[in-house]
Structure 1
Amino acid sequence: MEIINIYAIVFGSILLSLAFIKALYYVSPWKNVLAIFISKHLTYPYIIHRHHFCGPWTRASVFLHLCYYASNLTCLLFAVSSVSDIARRAGVLSLINMVFLFVAPSLSFLADILGISLQMCRRIHRSTAWISIFLLAIHIFGILIAEKNTLSFQDAPNLHALIAGSAAATIVLLCFPIFRRLAYECFLKFHEALAALYLYAVWRHLPPNQLLALYCVYACVGAFTSTLCLQIATFVYRNGLFMSKGYPRAYIRCGIIPANADKTKDVENAVIVRVALPRPMKLDAGQYINLWMPTVGIFSWAQTHPFMVISWSTETQSSLDLFIKPRKGLSAALYERALKAPEGSVSFATFITGLHGISQPIDQYQTVLLLVNGPGIAAALSYVRKLIRGYNTSFSRTRRIHLVWELKTLGLAAAAEEFLDSLLEEDTFADGYIFTTSIYVESGKVFEVGNHNRGSVYQGHPDYDEIIRAEVLGDFPNSKTNSKAEHERMTVADGFIDSEKNGKGQGWKMLVMVSLPGKQRDRVQSIVREYLQDGVAMTELEFQPD
C-alpha cells in the first residue's frame, strides 16, 4: 500500500470520528426516546418464539444475524471466477470466524473480558460456530466438486482435512440436546478435545503459501494461550496457592425443613455453602463463581460448576455464601454428604474461579421488581441486599423492592428463611421498609415463612400481568411508608420527576429483573413491552432456571 493511500485512510477516519462525535451530541437529548423506540419495536418483540430446537429470536437478533450472514456471503461470492475460488475463500472465511471460538478457555472468562453477560456470550459463540461450520461445509463440497478427479486421501494434507472435517461433524452432532443433556460434563470435555483436534488438523492441512489462513490458526493459539495464562494467574491469586493460610474451604449444610411442612409431598430443600477464602475479595451484586471440589466424589476432580453468590457487602469479604438447589452431579453429591453428616454439616477443600458475571446498574430505578422461580432466588438476594443498603445510606434512588418467588413447595422458601429474615431485619430505616415478598406455591401445604408480616404466601401461580400493572400504577397498599403519594413526594424531592414536564407515568422508573424458565421470561418480556413508555425496563439475571 502506498504512503498516500495510508494518509488518505487515516485522514478520512479522523474526519468521520469528529463527525460521529458531533452527531452524538445532537442525538443525546433524544436518547431516551430512541431507546424506547428500539426496545419496543426491535429488542422486545419476537419474530420466532421459543421452540425445542430454536428461538426465541427477536426482531433485533434476526436483523443482526441477517447482517452477519450477508456480510459473509458477500465476502464469499464477490468477484469469484470458479467453484475452486469459492471453496478456498469459504475455508479462509471459516477460519476467520472461528478465531472467536478459541479466544478463551471458558465462556465465563471471555464474557468478563468483553463485559457482556454469559447468556449473550453463548449466543455469539453459537452464531459464530454455525456460520463457521456452514462455510466449512461449502469449502469441503467445493473442493470435492472441483478436484474430484485428483483428490487423494493418501496425501498427508488431505488426510488431515478428513480428520478436521470428521471432528467438526462430530462437534455438530454432539451439540444436539439429546446428547448434551445425557452427561453435560463429559460433553463439555469431549467438545473441547474435538475443537483442539480440529485446529491441529487444520494447521497440518494448510499449505505454507496460505498465509492468511495460517495467521488465523496462530491467532487462535496465541489468544487461547494468553487468556489461559491470565486465567491461571487469576486462579492462583484468588485461591492463595502460595499463602500460608491454606486453600479455600467450603462448609456445607442442608436447609431446615419446618415441622409444619407437608411430608406427604416432595418437599424441596437446598444446600447452603459458605466458602472461606484465604484472600478476601470484593464483589458486586449478581456475580457468580465456579467451584472445583476434587474430593467430593470419584469424578468430581474433572468438574467445575457455576453458583451464584448470595452474600454482598460494600467491603471485601472473607467468605462467600451460596444457595444451591440439589439437582444432579455435584449439587446432589453435596446434598447427600451434608444430609448424612453426623453433625449436620461437612467441609471440603475447594478452589474457585471468578468472580464472573456483570452487575446490573439498579440504583437509578425507583421500583425494582424481581420475578424468580425456584433456585432463581440465588441470583436475586445479593441485589436486594445492595438496594436496601443503598437506601439506608442514601446512595440508591430505589423506594420499593418487590420479590415475587414461584415455588413447587415451600421447602425451598423455608431453607432460605434465614437469608430473607436478615434482609427484612436490615430494612428498617426510619421506622419503615421498602422490601416486600410474595411467594406463590404450586402444591403442598401453605404456611407462613419467617416471623414477620412483610410478605404474603399464595397457593397457585403468579399473574405477572397483574403484578406488573399494579407496580406501574403504584398500587401497593400493604407498604408502611411507600404509598403512592409518599413515593411521589420522595422522588420529586430527589429531583427525579417533574409531572408537568414529563407527563403521566414518566417519573416511575421501574426495573423488572427476571430469573424464570424460558416461556415465562418470554411472557414477562411481552408484558413489559406494553409499559416501556411508562419508564419500565427488563433485564435477565445471570442465572436462569431452564
Structure 2
Amino acid sequence: MHLLSIYALSFASAVIVLFIWTIWRLIDRSTRTAIVLFIRKRLLYALVMRRLRTSSDISVLAGLNLLLFGAANVTACTLWVPNPAEIAKRCGTLFIINVIPLYLGGRTNYIADRIFRLQLNEYALLHRWIGRICVVQGLVHGFLNAATSRASIVETILLSLVVALGCLSFLHLRRYMYEVFLKTHLLFALALAVVLWFHVRRSSTRASVCLGVASAAWLLQHVIWLIRLIHQTPGSRSTPIDLGPGQYIYITLPRLSLHTLGLIQSHPYVIAWIDGQDIIILVERNKGFSNAIFALPTVTTHSAMVDGPYGRVQSLGQYDKVLLLASGIGVAAHLLHIRHLLEAHKDKSVRVRRVALTWFLETPEQERWADKFLERLRDIDSSNTYGRQIFVLKKCIPGAVEYQSQDLRYSITPTILDLSAEIDGEAGVEGGNTAVLVCGNPHFENAVRKGVRSSKRDIHLFMTGFRPEESEAGKAARGRYC
C-alpha cells in the first residue's frame, strides 16, 4: 500500500510539472515577462522574516520551500499510521536521513559552495531548519519509545543530546553567546554521532548506512578543508589563490588569547581589495572575534590561516547600469566589483555603461575605511577615451556639508537617504537594464528591497554572498534612510 501511494504521488507530481511547462510554452513573451517580474518582486524580493544577528533572511519563496519540506516530513511520519510505535519508527528513520546533510557542518564548505552552489546565508538557513526538524523528530522518537519501554543509558544520553542541541538553536542564545554556541554545538554534534553509532549498530542496517554516509560526509569535508588550508596558508613560498569580486574567506588567528580559543575559531570576511600578493579585508570592531583582533599588538606580524575563497563570482557585466548600495562596512563587498567592471569596461568586454555607488555612512568616521580604495577607483576611471566618466560616487554622511564635484560624479549629502528615489533615479538615467547589488545591515537591505519592489521598472536585485551584522552605529542610524 505504501509503495503504491508513493508511486501515485510521484506520478501526479510529474504530470502537474509537465502541465505547467506546457501552459508556460503557450504564453506569449510579454505575459511571461510580466509573470517573471511578479515572481521576482513578490516571491524572491519580498521577505517573510528579516534576518537578525546569526540568522538569515527568509524570502517568500524560501519560506514556501521550508513549509513544503516541513509538510513532507510531517506527512511521511503520520500518513496511514496504524499505531504510535509506527510514528516513532518513522521519526527515527527520517531523523537519520535528515541528519546526513547536517554533518557537512554549520559553516560554508567546499562541498556546499562548489558542488551545490549555495551561498552563505542559503546554506546557513538550510542547516538551521533541517536541524530543527531533526530535533523534533528525535524528540518524538525518543519520548514515544520511552513511553512504551524502559530507556537504556544510551537512549537517555541520546535524548539528552538532542534536547541540548535543540536548546542551543534558540536565536537569543546564539545571539548573546555566539562564541560559546559555536564550541558547544560542535562538541554536542560529535557526541551525538558517536552515541548514534551505539544506538543503531545492531537494530537497523538502513540506519547504519545513513549514519555511515553522514560520517563519511563529515570526514570528506574536513579532509578537503585540511588539504586546502595547508596549501593556502601563507608560509615560506607564495601560494596562488584565484579570487573574484564578491567572494569571502575564513580567517583563523591561532595566537589569539587562550580563553578565546583562537585556533578553533574561524570567521568569514569579504575580500575588499587585492593589491599584488596582498589580500585586504576591512574589519569593523564589534564583540567577540573582531574585538580580539583589535586587541592584538600592532607592532608585530601575526600568522593567520586562510580558508577559501568561497562564494559565487557575481557577474554584472551583462547589465547596462549597475547601482551598488552599501551601509557602513558593507562597502567592502563592492570595491572589487567596481574595479572589475571599470577594468572590463576599458577592455570592452562588458556592456556596462554606468556604475554608481551610494555609500551610507552610519558615522562620519567610517569615511576613512575605504577612501584610499575609492580614490584608486576614480583613478582607474580617469581616462577620457569614452568621453565621460562611468563611475559615480555618492556618500551620505551625517553632519557633513553638502558637496558636489565639478564633474558631477562625486557628491556628499547630509540629508536623509531616500533609497526608493535613489534606485528609481539611477534606473531612469538612460536606457537599458539595471542591476542593484546591496550589502549592508539587515534594516538597510530591507529598505532596498522595498525600493526595488515599489519601482515600476524592471530592476534585478542581487544580494552579496557575505552580509554584515547590524552594529550599534547601524541601529542608531536607522532613521536617516527610508
Could you say whether these structures have the same fold, taking a TM-score greater than 0.5 normalized by the shorter chain as the test?
yes
- TM-score, length-normalised on structure 2? 0.84
Farther-moved stretch of structure 1 (318-327 vs 396-405): 318-327
The equivalent residue for 2:459 is: 536
Contact 1:368 1:398 in 2 (8 A): yes
Contact 1:366 1:397 in 2 (8 A): yes
| Inter-CA distance 28–379: structure 2 relative to 1 (3 Å threshold) | farther
Once the two structures are TM-superposed, the CA of residue 42 in structure 1 deviates from its matched residue by 2.1
Residue 525 in structure 1 maps to residue 480 in structure 2:
no
| Inter-CA distance 470–136: structure 2 relative to 1 (3 Å threshold) | same
> What is the alpha-carbon distance in structure 1 between the residues aligned to residue 421 and residue 446 of structure 2?
16
- Match runs of 1:510-521 below 5 Å: 510-521=434-445
Partner SS, residue 234 of structure 1: helix
> What is the alpha-carbon distance in structure 2 between the residues aligned to residue 330 and residue 74 of structure 1?
43
The equivalent residue for 2:263 is: 301
> What is the alpha-carbon distance in structure 1 between the residues aligned to residue 420 and residue 293 of structure 2?
38
Alignment partner of 1:238 out of 189, 208, 232: 232
Which residue type is aligned with residue 242 of structure 2? K
The equivalent residue for 1:287 is: 247
The equivalent residue for 1:416 is: 370
Which residue type is aligned with residue 326 of structure 1? R
Task: Kindly name which structure, 1 or 2, has the bigger radius of gyration based on alpha carbons.
Answer: 1
Residue 459 in structure 1 maps to residue 380 in structure 2:
no
The equivalent residue for 1:137 is: 139
- Match runs of 1:218-257 below 5 Å: 218-239=212-233, 245-246=236-237
Alignment partner of 1:442 out of 398, 419, 424: 398
- Match runs of 1:112-511 below 5 Å: 112=113, 113-145=115-147, 147=148, 150-151=149-150, 153=151, 158-206=152-200, 208-239=202-233, 245-246=236-237, 278-298=238-258, 299-312=261-274, 318-337=277-296, 341=299, 346-429=300-383, 430=385, 431-443=387-399, 446=401, 454-474=409-429, 484=430, 488=431, 508-511=432-435
**Can you give the 5+ residue segments of structure 2 that lack an aligned partner in the other structure?**
1-6, 470-482
> What is the alpha-carbon distance in structure 2 between the residues aligned to residue 541 and residue 57 of structure 1?
15
Partner SS, residue 301 of structure 2: strand
> Alpha-carbon deviations, 1:484-531, whole Å to 9, x = none?
3xxx4xxxxxxxxxxxxxxxxxxx311111112222322221221233
> What is the alpha-carbon distance in structure 2 between the residues aligned to residue 393 and residue 175 of structure 1?
49
Once the two structures are TM-superposed, the CA of residue 285 in structure 1 deviates from its matched residue by 0.6
Contact 2:56 2:124 in 1 (8 A): no
| Inter-CA distance 95–466: structure 2 relative to 1 (3 Å threshold) | same
> What is the alpha-carbon distance in structure 2 between the residues aligned to residue 296 and residue 210 of structure 1?
45
Once the two structures are TM-superposed, the CA of residue 436 in structure 1 deviates from its matched residue by 1.3
> What is the alpha-carbon distance in structure 2 between the residues aligned to residue 180 and residue 53 of structure 1?
7
Which residue type is aligned with residue 359 of structure 1? V
The RMSD of aligned alpha carbons is: 3.3
Contact 2:251 2:306 in 1 (8 A): yes
| Inter-CA distance 207–232: structure 2 relative to 1 (3 Å threshold) | closer
| Inter-CA distance 121–197: structure 2 relative to 1 (3 Å threshold) | same
Once the two structures are TM-superposed, the CA of residue 85 in structure 1 deviates from its matched residue by 0.8
> What is the alpha-carbon distance in structure 1 between the residues aligned to residue 112 and residue 454 of structure 2?
31
| Inter-CA distance 177–29: structure 2 relative to 1 (3 Å threshold) | same
Once the two structures are TM-superposed, the CA of residue 454 in structure 1 deviates from its matched residue by 3.5
Farther-moved stretch of structure 1 (304-313 vs 29-38): 29-38
> Alpha-carbon deviations, 1:122-148, whole Å to 9, x = none?
111111111111211221232233x1x
- TM-score, length-normalised on structure 1? 0.75
Taking every aligned residue pair, what percent have the same amino acid on both sides? Answer: 23
> What is the alpha-carbon distance in structure 1 between the residues aligned to residue 131 and residue 265 of structure 2?
24
| Inter-CA distance 355–89: structure 2 relative to 1 (3 Å threshold) | same
Partner SS, residue 302 of structure 2: strand
**Can you give the 5+ residue segments of structure 1 that lack an aligned partner in the other structure?**
1-7, 247-277, 475-483, 489-507
Contact 2:107 2:124 in 1 (8 A): no
| Inter-CA distance 450–294: structure 2 relative to 1 (3 Å threshold) | farther
> What is the alpha-carbon distance in structure 1 between the residues aligned to residue 467 and residue 67 of structure 2?
27
Which residue type is aligned with residue 135 of structure 2? I
> What is the alpha-carbon distance in structure 1 between the residues aligned to residue 26 and residue 124 of structure 2?
32
Contact 1:387 1:398 in 2 (8 A): yes
Once the two structures are TM-superposed, the CA of residue 331 in structure 1 deviates from its matched residue by 2.9
The equivalent residue for 2:71 is: 70
Farther-moved stretch of structure 1 (207-216 vs 189-198): 207-216
The equivalent residue for 1:43 is: 44
Q: What is the aligned length? A: 452
Partner SS, residue 325 of structure 2: strand
Which residue type is aligned with residue 232 of structure 1? L
> What is the alpha-carbon distance in structure 2 between the residues aligned to residue 58 and residue 179 of structure 1?
24
Contact 2:246 2:334 in 1 (8 A): yes
